[in-house]
Structure 1
């Protein structure tokens, strides 16, 4: 047997496991940990103690690891070493090492909380930090602490920062192995290759075919880029029959994935997503081409929507990709980015639990008996916002109650290999006696689209349901197993496997056709699974613009053939980066079906609002589902509804809906001076700010039947505020801050209180002989005098009347006497009689 680096640390690993329940193994790519460690543990774990479960992040990795280990023992898969993955299991009673995908472990623990027959769990490639691995670790740790202190856990990682993991596993011993890799030359192509990603990858592949030997592994972000690049390679004419082009991505049928891994008689070019970064060995690869980006889902808790994002890979991922070229011999890694970009990459990719929808995880923890998932031990605690969003959805689906406890429906849903939404869809299909249709629809929604879309794709001109169209295609394909080039045969086959699995789980025999109108049944099933994805067309915005139940806008994308429907359910939404979401799949639903299916959620309320444009109250009796209005009927609102609405409108207008005339401003000024002069008397504050804060106290009682801006403007605000004073305050107000003052000439002159200081504008002749200027508030506030010329223009502004007579009066007289000869201009103003009249004639 070929020696591998991990072989040197196996004795240390075995010794640590005899003492400790948990051990961490750090081993770089090429160390051989996946295939050597489980076999080395067989002598330590007697058959009667139970099996060794090893978790792999992907089906292809699980099957490949089991095959390698079985071959090393000279056996067939299913004897000592077996595997269990989705849709396939190869084990026997003799199996002692079972390689499983991560979701399988969760199902095992939920169905058997003691994990009977399992002695050890190995988490391989834990550095990938999938949400299933994190959940499996949390459940195993809780099981280990509560019920199975004999359960042993090994965590194997290539690049993970192991310090937090050591702390999580009670200071578990860390054992490190060297890797086995050959030198890999790095070539940066950022300045040499231009164009779109598929074209840049084509140029890099063509160069590598000429400059290197061995197979080529090219990393692209997604299946669409892989297909585009493969098409470009085929069209180039350079790739001959001596070269085989393989695809490798997660949604690819399992058999096609296997073909990409198995050795062949031709040179291979494998176009892969990040699935090929770790845990898979593709024999013969000597060259890697790294595009530098990856694609993943990010969940937005605020909107409850996922968005598919293409992001820069981490440095750890870039190094993992490069390492694939040095597994069997010295290799070359072409990078479609600069060295500067590489240095700027984040060290590690974020854990999936930090940026994905947590509704399935929350339902699993509720089924485990943890109403609060934070009671479990996590390497990274799930984000609060995402947990809150997940809790709201599970309540909406009826899977959990408001305390976070799992319901009877939730227990049925959690046993299904589906997202909680689709589990709820299956339960509703049973209630509607259309379980077969439910299985088809759930499978269709759980797998990739059966229709391929590219730039040349033309969409059906109009349809009432994208889902009904696809079900028709599925049913037709099921009969003759053929179809147009636009059909994704791999997706159809995957859907069919899911359907068979669900039919077995639901113990259902397929009828010839669903009972009832299929499109109505589809709408009912979708409403059960996606109650928050109901949308209504927005008037005036064409046939593709909708308002979602959550209040967010959305528009139908070019992938959807639905146009102009009043109500739709949108099972496939992309939150995107714009203000509006994109609806890729939709199905029409009638208002009658909505009212039947969502009867308990329809809110009926009397809505009274202020229409700013029309300047009036609008009263409607509304029926609403979230932000969607189902109906609105006008009604005559009562006083209890009108008054708060009008008050709110006045407050929003900052009092501009009221007539704030000069009379009011004078009253405000008078009250302000009294409040300042006599603070001990607690005079009310009627400033604009105070009035805004107290509208309910002083304005509301006077609104009566007022429902329009016109009627509001007719209110006498001065009278209302003056009327709030008691009799003594009204009398004192007139005495302390009178509206008029009698001056020496006998004239009554109006005071102006609109400024900071009371102002009296009076012709200077009317104050001859007066030494002291006027005051208010019992002499506490001095009045500012505007001394006027005969033309009533200010000639002096002063609070010191005596100083005026003794000073600047003579200059004023000199300037104005000739201009106004008919008015008295005595040399001695102290001895002159005050007058408001002209001089007598002949004087």
Structure 2
């Protein structure tokens, strides 16, 4: 049976011509076109690449190995000759290898050691649309080399769903090509779940129907490993005899992954339960039905926990199309989407790039290692949010990996290049130095094994993981089962770490100093050293954050711990992985530095301020004792300021005169805005405590003294001499009537000011008294509350003349009857004011 030519062959001449004339190419080709399995073979035949190396970058290890093996088979050679591959823990290359299929992380290490890529002619980025952090960085470094060091270096970006137009804006010198794909028809149907919470049960139901009715192999896309296990448990007993159940996800060994994609024996079919690892580059033999959950789990970096948190979300349209295409690689196929067509139409065109949501520390150390001080100095396709970038640089500075000028420190130079997170690389490097200094045998081995453990998923699962967060127990599990096949990847990675510091073997596993696990964690996570609080299982970390440990966990009773992994649980930071630590040993070995400070404390019972000498590490108080040193006025004032900010202005003792001053002032600000008096609303006064109150409270040590402070004087300090005179004139405290009586004026922002006084003392007043700024026509008539001789209200008016001429007659009649000894004239506007009875007038 002859094999039909790959669709990519149709643009071979155009592509090779473009490759000759241009240095940067962008190729868009649908799944099955042959861009990964056909195009690389053309390059091996070109004379211009005869003595040069070609790097073909793949986003996943499985794809890299599979593609390399396929290409080697195509040219009839064993892998490792002309075509080879290099992965994190596996390599098949030789001095004859011209085409290396590698992951983007491997390429970054290659170019860091050889910035000119002296032996390389072409770098190919396959599946570039996935836009992983590794891919973005690898491209930026290759592009920087092309622009600055090697104008002959060629770069090819390939993808099935590349947003070509946007990419070409970033690459004005690039030429764009497109290939058609192998157009086997795919019948797409939609089977949305009614209750989104039960989507897994719905997926099981759809799979059951497919197993009983479909004749070919099936690929089911699921978001995560737990979902794969759930479906596997439900389906394993229902499988027809001619069906194999094959899980496929990143944490399987390459050999296990290879089993899922290899052809089945004659007469057998398989159902592959896969994460999005199966979206690209891989051709799984015999698949002609895809069942797509429409979901994926993405690692989102959480700054609260300093860890990547897996979050489930809807896939993009581009991913849905990629998944659908798996059904039509070899023959016509079907795709069942477990969501509605309307849901599909609403989805984003492309997924959010990893650079906007990932932990940037591994990228920052590589950028610093390259010799630049900020991301915008590199030709990145996309920049992260500036705040996230700044925080990442600062974190590496706190870890002493970078100096204050963003250069690698001596420690940082040793850390760079490790195939693990910078925190764990620092832990290994420092452990080697501490082992030598303190004659602590096995400490480096333990650090390397601990790094391998922390880089992977927790080996304890379920209830045990929730009630046993002690990392020492996991290390013991690894050590006791060091020959077990399922743990070999940990020890292989451990040996890789040890090779970076010239230690070639991992020996004496049973003698590793597990009691120092917490000490090693403190090297990686100094901000997560935490002290037990008064409440059982509650801890305070160096960075000031509160942590909790399940009460059933033995670590809940420890005095000090170091947390390696956290998760948000009911709005609290729950410790998932940790180890106890001896705080005195951390200080003695100079892993942390304690600092002596003088801490002021306000005792709410005695209502006094006292001082303590404290030894602290960040937010953790290691020890304290009373201090006999004199407390400065500035320190006292600062503490009182904090108390007032916490409890509000009501914490102060406001006398009646102080309240009246505030009322007058606020009335001026509302009605006499042209005066531009300072704002004295509560929020403004709290914000400006340092201006008006702090100068008056510097020597005060107890609340009783604070209550004696003259708040009116403090407030008036906000006004200069002229403003104080204006305040007295525009908003006087009293109205002085014809008899000389000083009657208080009550101010309010709700209405005009009010004055209460006996009616008889206003005889002869023909103009209603006013307050305010008459020069700017903003004066206001007082509301006058007229009182009887018994000081009871008898009338309220804001127009005294109208009152004399109107309702006064009725009031006069009533007053004569009640108070006959008092003077009630017929013409009050022209009578003489009095505060006496008729007998003494």
Query: Fold-level match, TM-score > 0.5?
Result: yes
Q: CA deviation at 1:436?
A: 1.1
> Of 548, 563, 568, which aligns to 1:570?
563
- 1:495: which partner in 2? 490
Q: Is residue 2:258 matched to residue 1:258?
A: yes
Q: Is the 8 A contact 1:215 1:287 kept in 2?
A: yes
SS at match of 2:167: helix
Distance in structure 2 (CA, Å) of the matches to 1:90 and 1:677: 85
Q: Is residue 2:161 matched to residue 1:159?
A: yes
Q: Is the 8 A contact 2:289 2:327 kept in 1?
A: yes
Distance in structure 2 (CA, Å) of the matches to 1:784 and 1:356: 67
Distance in structure 2 (CA, Å) of the matches to 1:764 and 1:55: 98
The answer to which of 36-45 and 748-757 deviates more is: 748-757
Query: 5+ residue gaps in structure 1?
Result: 483-488
Q: CA deviation at 1:10?
A: 1.1
- 2:458: which partner in 1? 449
SS at match of 1:753: strand
Q: CA deviation at 1:300?
A: 3.5
Q: CA deviation at 1:669?
A: 7.7
What does 1:242-321 align with in structure 2 at a 5 Å threshold? 242-265=242-265, 266-301=268-303, 304-321=306-323
SS at match of 2:822: coil
**What TM-score do the two structures reach when normalised by structure 2?**
0.87
- 1:185: which partner in 2? 187
- 1:793: which partner in 2? 792
What does 1:610-689 align with in structure 2 at a 5 Å threshold? 617=609, 619-635=611-627, 637-650=631-644, 655-664=649-658
Q: Relative to structure 1, is the Cα distance of residues 325 and 758 closer, same or farther in structure 2, using a 3 angstrom cutoff?
A: closer
Distance in structure 2 (CA, Å) of the matches to 1:357 and 1:734: 64
- 1:223: which partner in 2? 225
Q: Is the 8 A contact 1:57 1:102 kept in 2?
A: yes
Q: CA deviation at 1:45?
A: 4.3
Q: CA deviation at 1:813?
A: 2.2
The answer to which of 820-829 and 496-505 deviates more is: 820-829
Distance in structure 1 (CA, Å) of the matches to 2:235 and 2:830: 115
Q: CA deviation at 1:586?
A: 1.1
Q: Is residue 2:514 matched to residue 1:518?
A: yes
Distance in structure 2 (CA, Å) of the matches to 1:778 and 1:504: 85
Distance in structure 1 (CA, Å) of the matches to 2:448 and 2:797: 93
Q: Is the 8 A contact 1:560 1:586 kept in 2?
A: no
Q: Relative to structure 1, is the Cα distance of residues 649 and 13 closer, same or farther in structure 2, using a 3 angstrom cutoff?
A: same
- 1:83: which partner in 2? 85
Distance in structure 1 (CA, Å) of the matches to 2:526 and 2:296: 32
Q: Relative to structure 1, is the Cα distance of residues 335 and 639 closer, same or farther in structure 2, using a 3 angstrom cutoff?
A: same
Query: 5+ residue gaps in structure 2?
Result: 436-442
Q: Is the 8 A contact 1:527 1:597 kept in 2?
A: no
Q: Is the 8 A contact 1:669 1:755 kept in 2?
A: yes
The answer to which of 507-516 and 141-150 deviates more is: 507-516
The answer to which of 783-792 and 249-258 deviates more is: 783-792
Q: CA deviation at 1:314?
A: 1.0
The answer to which of 75-84 and 818-827 deviates more is: 818-827
Distance in structure 1 (CA, Å) of the matches to 2:33 and 2:713: 91
Q: CA deviation at 1:547?
A: 3.8
> Of 528, 531, 537, which aligns to 1:533?
528
Q: Relative to structure 1, is the Cα distance of residues 240 and 559 closer, same or farther in structure 2, using a 3 angstrom cutoff?
A: farther
**What TM-score do the two structures reach when normalised by structure 1?**
0.87
The answer to which of 561-570 and 369-378 deviates more is: 561-570
SS at match of 1:404: coil
Q: Relative to structure 1, is the Cα distance of residues 696 and 49 closer, same or farther in structure 2, using a 3 angstrom cutoff?
A: same
- 1:477: which partner in 2? 481
Q: Relative to structure 1, is the Cα distance of residues 184 and 562 closer, same or farther in structure 2, using a 3 angstrom cutoff?
A: farther
Q: Is the 8 A contact 1:668 1:686 kept in 2?
A: no
Q: Is the 8 A contact 2:84 2:92 kept in 1?
A: yes
- 1:204: which partner in 2? 206
Q: Is the 8 A contact 1:749 1:761 kept in 2?
A: no
Q: Relative to structure 1, is the Cα distance of residues 815 and 473 closer, same or farther in structure 2, using a 3 angstrom cutoff?
A: same
Q: CA deviation at 1:607?
A: 3.6
What does 1:33-72 align with in structure 2 at a 5 Å threshold? 33-46=35-48, 49-72=51-74
> Of 434, 442, 449, which aligns to 1:440?
449
Distance in structure 1 (CA, Å) of the matches to 2:105 and 2:824: 107
- 2:438: which partner in 1? none
Q: Is the 8 A contact 1:527 1:534 kept in 2?
A: yes
Distance in structure 2 (CA, Å) of the matches to 1:348 and 1:186: 20
Q: Relative to structure 1, is the Cα distance of residues 639 and 340 closer, same or farther in structure 2, using a 3 angstrom cutoff?
A: same
- 1:588: which partner in 2? 580
Q: Relative to structure 1, is the Cα distance of residues 263 and 710 closer, same or farther in structure 2, using a 3 angstrom cutoff?
A: same
Q: Is the 8 A contact 2:746 2:755 kept in 1?
A: no
Q: Relative to structure 1, is the Cα distance of residues 673 and 753 closer, same or farther in structure 2, using a 3 angstrom cutoff?
A: farther
Aligned length: 818
- 1:608: which partner in 2? 600
What does 1:271-420 align with in structure 2 at a 5 Å threshold? 271-301=273-303, 304-420=306-422
Q: Is the 8 A contact 1:396 1:531 kept in 2?
A: no
Q: Is the 8 A contact 1:398 1:407 kept in 2?
A: yes
Q: Relative to structure 1, is the Cα distance of residues 596 and 310 closer, same or farther in structure 2, using a 3 angstrom cutoff?
A: farther
Q: Relative to structure 1, is the Cα distance of residues 753 and 312 closer, same or farther in structure 2, using a 3 angstrom cutoff?
A: same
